Amino acid sequence: MSNTTSEPPKPVRYGNPVVSAIVGTLLAGGLAVLLLWHAVLVRIPPGHVGVLYSLLSGGTVLDEIYPEGLQVKLPWNRMYIYETRVQAHPFTLLAFSAEGMAITVEATTLFRLVRAQMPQLQVDVGPEYRERIVGPVSTAAVRRIVARYDSHELYTLGADRLQAELLEYMRSAPESRAIYYIDVLVRTVQLPDALVSAIERKLSQEQIAASYEFRLISQRQEAERLRIQAIGLRNFYSIVQGALTDKLLTWRGIEATVEVAKSPNTKIVIVGGNKDQLPLILGSDITRESTDKETAVAPVPGDVSPLPDWSTLPPMFDSAKPGNEPPRRGPRLPPLPPSSPASPTPSR
């Protein structure tokens, strides 16, 4: 009878335990990341920065600023995101002028956050910087500047000057170290209707008064011009008066008549109406008979005497052209036929 020996079965091995542990750890870690990804990964959008609050490392991290992009943190820490682009804060408020008139002001403050001051802003102010700093500083600036002027000055004050003063006050505020104010845009400054009407009437009267003042100045200048002109005319006549005598004017009349007779276009020569008038009438004083007793010229014998040769007589005034040229002479007038052959020519 044969004896049969039976061996025990060997255990089945399904893999390396180290590999299994690693795979299990990775699976557990991936599951944890899937469950806690929003607490570990932080997405910082463009134009923003992140400030980290570490729960186990002393609070806010002051020496590091996280830029835009995907950032990793521990689940128990927190990332605060701040916008560093230009922001606008519109507001409307009721201010009072220097004399106590209520004025409505509508404006908009343009500002942006300083990147280097973001951790300190997180500690001192927090994400509510609009309500805690920008709004109160803008309101205080408008009320402080408006209270410096009365209603009339605010009505005529330029927008650039008002905005410049507001901006200077806001930038000097100690609370604005982490905020840079770019500009303050004043949209409207509304005064009471009755006050606006009174100011417009006042400005209209000022313009009318200025126009009257301009007219007075122009009239004074015109009067001065006429006075100077009158002085010049008086001086001229006082100088010429001594040279204008009756004989000189008579002689000039004779010369003018001769020149008219020389002209080729002359058709008619007007002579005096009586024996005492000149051919060229210069004035009533010349045509009247002289009342002065002058030495009479001896009469020339004969009934009719021939006229002198006027072209040979010297002119009373030098009419020669520049260059010492002799004066122009026209054709000589023929002498009148004498009634008596023995009639001599009268002396000049």
Q: Shortest CA distance to 107 belongs to which of 97, 96, 93?
A: 93
- Report pLDDT digits (tens) over 228-256: 888 888 887 777 777 777 777 777 777 87
Say yes or no: 120 and 152 in one domain. yes
Which residue blocks in the chain are alpha helix, DSSP H?
Answer: 17-40, 118-124, 129, 135-146, 151-156, 159-171, 193-241, 246-262, 284-287
Categorize the per-residue pLDDT at 312 as very low, low, confident or very high, splitting at 50, 70 and 90: low
The candidate with the shortest Cα–Cα distance to 310, out of 345, 275, 267, is: 345
219 is a domain residue:
no
Residue where one domain finishes, among candidates 34, 51, 83? 83
Name the residue with higher pLDDT: 140 or 238. Answer: 140
Within a domain: residue 348? no
CA distances from 52 to 68, 78, 82, 85, 116 (A): 13, 6, 11, 20, 14
Residue 201 identity: R
The structure tokens listed for 125 are 């102010």
Among 83, 100, 128, residue at a domain's last position: 83
Q: What is the arithmetic mean of pLDDT over 163-171? A: 91
* pLDDT band of 142, cuts 50, 70, 90: very high
Phi and psi, residue 171, nearest 5°: -70, -25
25 and 115 in a single domain? The answer is no
What six digits make up the tokens of 281? Answer: 């009438």
- Distance in angstroms (rounded) separating the CA atoms of residues 274 and 138: 103
CB hemisphere CA count around 101 (13 angstroms): 23
- Read off the pLDDT of residues 49-83 as tens digits, 9 standing for 90 and up: 999 999 888 889 998 999 999 888 888 899 999 99
Residue range of the domain that includes 163:
87-191
Domain identity same for 95 and 185: yes
Q: Which residue has the higher pLDDT, 211 or 49?
A: 49
0.75 exceeded by pTM: no
- What CA–CA distances, in Å, run from 228 to 29, 218, 225, 239? 110, 15, 5, 17
Shared domain for 176 and 148, answered yes or no, is: yes
- Tokens read off for 33: 């990341």
Do residue 114 and residue 157 come from a single domain? yes
Helix orientation angle between 159-171 and 135-146, rounded to the nearest 10 degrees: 130
Any domain includes 161: yes
Torsion angles phi and psi, residue 10, rounded to 5: -80, 145
